[in-house]
């Protein structure tokens, strides 16, 4: 009988191989690694030939030319020359992790999606976070949208929810995407600025695109400079559909809510973090997962029917609008936990291919024109980036459920079915068959209309929700928006573009517009921009839109930086570390020398950073535990003074013992001791400090320091 032809994944290689008497373990891609016993494998070419000398190329005589029959050299260099694949045209810089999604309760009433049928069901997941505009090597703390792309390997196929940390988008139609991205990325003649929107082209495009105003309020807010990937929300952005077994549809918007609450950094802090640790976000995720502090998000959904959609102030198909949580409360339906870093960044994070059109039965699209355009784009981009149509053969992209189809051949085909029949229908009763009952059926929506290039009237109000976002922010957050706009527009060389932007701000909030105009030094106030809809609605504030209102109120998952010197009070130091660890937060020690310091009890305390390498911008709060004998030396270090001055400027809590007063004085704040600068020794000192840390920032200080003062 002929062998059955199937396209099911074949992992028939032995897990352990022996080559040249050395026991090797086979990795996911078939590659070989040393076994735990620690034997060293023999280096081979990619063809498997053992290599005798990997340090010297073959040549004629000691000072003569190289010879072309050095096949090992040729192969090694050839492969190296081809190591790179094109970086993503957007979202090039990213970082991913594995984990799982756990369903709380069955959602069968709303969707037949297999992953939502059984309470407690776990579905493997891979998540890639990213910035949008910067190249692969750019810094993590760019002011930018963050990608939040989730691949769920369900039992009925991969579901990719390719979202962002901001629930709305710049444009309403995918046809404008290339222009938006061209304008945002580095300018084509000079190739700068890198990973920044603070330049003429971006603000020129934006100021000519009123639909972007709502999203611009978000990108100028602290949402665009998150403290950690673990402390930000994710959003599906578009309206999708759940479809149940009876083919009934419910509209759905997806929200990922971080268990540790929201938190961002200050712009001045972001700028300094980019210099001190350009990998700040990826290092943070790596450290959290490697130390067993697995980040977690709850998946919440806003569910609504056509009746709600018809009565809502805005069009639910318009991706520049959101549905305020106060109007439609999101329902928790499951949790996402990230608990494993990839073994290999390239194989997994770089080669993962997210596609909005990857949906299992039970999830369907709405007519959001941006979503529909995206469904077209993502397959195309994978072909370019991954080099051929077989990118689903890569382990990171392959489904983890049984799969069977008649696709064959192509570059780098790794999974090659056997047997004769490679088509259907066939009369050999061979191969897979379509299943009208199990398969993905589109929701049978009735569609009609005249074919035309147009934008619906219902998409025309570009300012009401932009204003709603602004008025929903706390005073410090509003100051930051004004300061960010001022900063960005100050980098724009063309005065007309600055003025055009201010004319839009006038349609959002007059005080905001006036503040920015004054800070920019505009000679006169422009007229408000022409608006497609004459009357802006004054919508109620939505506290769910503020980061400060949705902070964690505890220090869990955060980091305290403790500046120590020789002679540090050992009891105080150990007590502080213990109290912080009890909050499930971590401490890192900064010392004059990375080798460490000798504490008051004679013990050697190792440091994580030297003062120059561990600026306070890397921490959520700081403590100064010094000693009378070492403080004089410390105050001579500019980096130590900056450590304290920056922590103060960035509104961080500062704990200290009395010996550190000269350092506070050197940083210029000995006379400005406020509610956020707390003495640690003495009755209740430590516990008061640690409980205050949960507030994360001393916002009351901000008006008195320069940053954020717009």
Interface with ligand HDE (CB under 6 A): 88-91, 94, 128, 130, 147, 149, 162-164, 169, 174, 177, 237, 352, 354, 370, 373-374, 377-378, 381
Q: Which is nearer to ligand HDE, 171 or 303 (CB)?
A: 171
19, two tokens: 């080559």
Least distance (Å) between residue 94 CB and ligand HDE: 5
126 annotated as belonging to a binding site for a ligand = no
- Secondary structure of 154-184 in the HEC alphabet? ECCEEEEEEEECCCCCCCCCHHHHHHHHHHH
Q: Which is nearer to ligand HDE, 102 or 160 (CB)?
A: 160
Q: Which is nearer to ligand HDE, 370 or 585 (CB)?
A: 370
Please confirm, yes or no, whether 650 is among the known catalytic residues. Answer: no
CB 124 within 8 A of CB 153: yes
HSE-CB of 273 using CA atoms within 13 angstroms:
29
Least distance (Å) between residue 640 CB and ligand HDE: 40
Least distance (Å) between residue 232 CB and ligand HDE: 13
Please confirm, yes or no, whether 375 is among the known catalytic residues. Answer: no
Burial 576-599 (b: 16+ CB within 10 A, else e): bbebbeebebbbebbbbebebbbb
Phi and psi, residue 7, nearest 5°: -105, 25
Least distance (Å) between residue 370 CB and ligand HDE: 4
Least distance (Å) between residue 27 CB and ligand HDE: 23
Q: Which is nearer to ligand HDE, 369 or 708 (CB)?
A: 369
Least distance (Å) between residue 254 CB and ligand HDE: 10
Least distance (Å) between residue 617 CB and ligand HDE: 26
- How many angstroms from the chain centroid is the CA of residue 146? 4
Q: Which is nearer to ligand HDE, 147 or 615 (CB)?
A: 147
Least distance (Å) between residue 644 CB and ligand HDE: 38
Residue nearest to ligand HDE (CB): 147
C-alpha 504/C-alpha 501 separation (Å) is 5
Single out the catalytic residue among 72, 98, 158, 164. Answer: 164
* DSSP run (H or E) holding 500: helix 495-505
C-alpha 334/C-alpha 706 separation (Å) is 42
CA distances for 680 relative to 234, 262, 685, angstroms:
38, 27, 4
88 annotated as belonging to a binding site for a ligand = yes
Helix 495-505 to helix 510-520 angle, to the nearest 10 degrees?
Answer: 160
378 annotated as belonging to a binding site for a ligand = yes
Q: What is the DSSP letter of 346?
A: I
Q: Is the dihedral of CA 308, 313, 314, 320 positive or negative?
A: negative
C-alpha 581/C-alpha 587 separation (Å) is 8
DSSP string across 608-645: SEEGGG--GGGSSEEEEE--TTTHHHHTT-HHHHHHHH
- How many angstroms from the chain centroid is the CA of residue 34? 34
Q: Which is nearer to ligand HDE, 168 or 586 (CB)?
A: 168
Least distance (Å) between residue 167 CB and ligand HDE: 9
DSSP string across 206-259: HHT-GGGHHHHHHHTSGGGSBS-GGG--EE--S-EEEE-TT--EEEEEEEEEET
Least distance (Å) between residue 215 CB and ligand HDE: 9
59 annotated as belonging to a binding site for a ligand = no
Q: Which is nearer to ligand HDE, 174 or 696 (CB)?
A: 174
125, two tokens: 């997941």
Q: Which of 285, 275, 279 lies closest to 615 in space, CA to CA? A: 275
C-alpha 78/C-alpha 74 separation (Å) is 6
110 annotated as belonging to a binding site for a ligand = no
Q: Which is nearer to ligand HDE, 164 or 228 (CB)?
A: 164
N-terminal to C-terminal alpha carbon distance within the chain: 79
Angle, CA of 201, 137 and 594, to the nearest 5°: 130
**Can you list the pairs that 600-604 forms with residues at least 24 positions away whose Cβ atoms lie under 8 Å?**
600/567, 600/568, 600/569, 600/570, 600/571, 600/627, 601/570, 601/571, 603/570
Q: Which is nearer to ligand HDE, 72 or 128 (CB)?
A: 128
Single out the catalytic residue among 91, 199, 281, 504. Answer: 91
555: left (phi over 0), alpha (psi -120 to 50) or beta: alpha
Q: Which is nearer to ligand HDE, 93 or 272 (CB)?
A: 93
Least distance (Å) between residue 688 CB and ligand HDE: 42
Q: Which is nearer to ligand HDE, 301 or 513 (CB)?
A: 301
Number of neighbouring beta carbons within 10 Å of residue 535: 9
**Pairing mode of beta strands 94-103, 122-131:** antiparallel
CB 135 within 8 A of CB 150: no
* N residues, the chain: 710
190 annotated as belonging to a binding site for a ligand = no
Phi and psi, residue 550, nearest 5°: -120, 30
Residue numbers in the known binding site for heme are: 88, 128, 177, 374, 378, 385
> Would you name the residues annotated as active-site residues?
91, 164
The annotation places the binding site at: 88, 128, 177, 374, 378, 385
């Amino acid at each position: 009988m002929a062998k059955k032809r199937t396209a099911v994944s074949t992992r028939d290689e032995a897990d352990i191989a022996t080559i040249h008497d050395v026991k090797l373990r086979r990795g996911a891609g078939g590659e070989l690694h040393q076994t735990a016993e620690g034997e060293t494998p023999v280096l081979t070419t990619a063809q498997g030939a053992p290599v005798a000398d990997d340090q010297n190329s073959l040549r004629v005589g000691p000072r003569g030319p190289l010879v072309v029959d050095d096949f090992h050299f040729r192969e090694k260099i050839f492969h190296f020359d081809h190591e790179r694949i094109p970086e993503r045209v957007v979202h090039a810089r990213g970082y991913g992790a594995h984990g799982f999604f756990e369903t709380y309760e069955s959602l069968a009433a709303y969707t037949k999606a297999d992953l939502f049928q059984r309470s407690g069901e776990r579905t493997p997941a891979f998540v890639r976070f990213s910035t949008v505009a910067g190249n692969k090597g750019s810094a993590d703390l760019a002011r930018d949208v963050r990608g939040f792309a989730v691949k769920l390997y369900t039992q009925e196929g991969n579901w990719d929810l390719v979202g962002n940390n901001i629930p709305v988008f710049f444009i309403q139609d995918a046809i404008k995407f290339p222009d938006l991205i061209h304008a945002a990325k580095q300018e084509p003649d000079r190739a700068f600025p890198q990973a920044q929107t603070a330049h003429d082209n971006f603000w020129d495009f934006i100021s000519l695109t009123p639909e972007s105003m709502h999203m611009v309020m978000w990108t100028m807010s602290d949402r665009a400079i998150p403290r950690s990937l673990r402390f930000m929300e994710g959003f599906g952005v578009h309206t999708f559909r759940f479809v149940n077994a009876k083919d009934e549809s419910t509209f759905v918007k997806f929200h990922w809510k971080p268990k540790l609450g929201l938190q961002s950094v200050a712009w001045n802090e972001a700028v300094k973090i980019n210099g001190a640790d350009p990998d700040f976000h990826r290092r943070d995720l790596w450290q959290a997962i490697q130390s067993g502090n697995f980040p977690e998000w709850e998946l919440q959904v806003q569910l609504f029917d056509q009746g709600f959609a018809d009565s809502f102030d805005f069009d639910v198909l318009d991706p520049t609008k959101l549905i305020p949580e106060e109007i439609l409360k999101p329902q928790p339906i499951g949790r996402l936990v990230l608990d494993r870093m990839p073994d290999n960044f390239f194989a997994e994070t770089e080669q993962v291919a997210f596609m909005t059109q990857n949906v299992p039965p039970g999830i369907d699209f709405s007519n959001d024109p941006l979503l529909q355009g995206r469904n077209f784009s993502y397959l195309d981009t994978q072909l370019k980036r991954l080099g051929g149509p077989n990118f689903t053969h890569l382990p990171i992209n392959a489904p983890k459920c049984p799969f069977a189809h008649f696709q064959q051949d192509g570059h780098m085909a790794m999974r090659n079915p056997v047997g004769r029949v490679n088509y259907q229908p066939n009369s050999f009763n061979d191969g897979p068959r379509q299943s009208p009952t199990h398969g993905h059926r589109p929701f049978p929506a009735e569609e009609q209309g005249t074919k035309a290039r147009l934008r619906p009237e219902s998409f025309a109000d570009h300012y009401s929700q932009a204003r709603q976002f602004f008025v929903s922010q706390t005073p410090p957050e509003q100051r930051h928006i004004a300061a960010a706009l001022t900063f960005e527009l100050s980098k724009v060389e063309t005065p007309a573009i600055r003025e055009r932007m201010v004319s839009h701000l006038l349609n959002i909030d007059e005080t905001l517009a006036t503040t920015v105009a004054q800070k920019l030094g505009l000679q006169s106030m422009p007229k408000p921009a022409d608006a497609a809809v004459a009357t802006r609605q004054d919508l109620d504030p939505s506290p769910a839109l503020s980061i400060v209102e949705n902070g964690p109120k505890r220090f869990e998952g955060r980091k305290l930086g403790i500046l120590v010197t020789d002679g540090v009070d050992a009891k105080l130091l150990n007590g502080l570390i213990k109290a912080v660890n009890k909050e499930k937060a971590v401490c890192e020690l900064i010392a004059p020398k990375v080798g460490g310091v000798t504490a008051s009890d004679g013990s050697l305390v190792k440091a994580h950073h030297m003062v120059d390498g561990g600026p306070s911008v890397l921490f959520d709060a700081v403590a100064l535990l010094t000693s009378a004998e070492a403080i004089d030396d410390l105050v001579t270090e500019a980096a130590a003074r900056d450590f304290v001055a920056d922590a103060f400027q960035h509104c961080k809590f500062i704990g200290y013992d009395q010996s550190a007063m000269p350092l506070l004085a050197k940083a210029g704040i000995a006379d400005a001791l406020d509610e956020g600068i707390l003495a640690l020794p003495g009755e209740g000192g430590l516990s008061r400090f640690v409980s205050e840390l949960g507030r994360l920032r001393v916002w009351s200080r901000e008006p008195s320091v320069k940053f954020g003062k717009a």
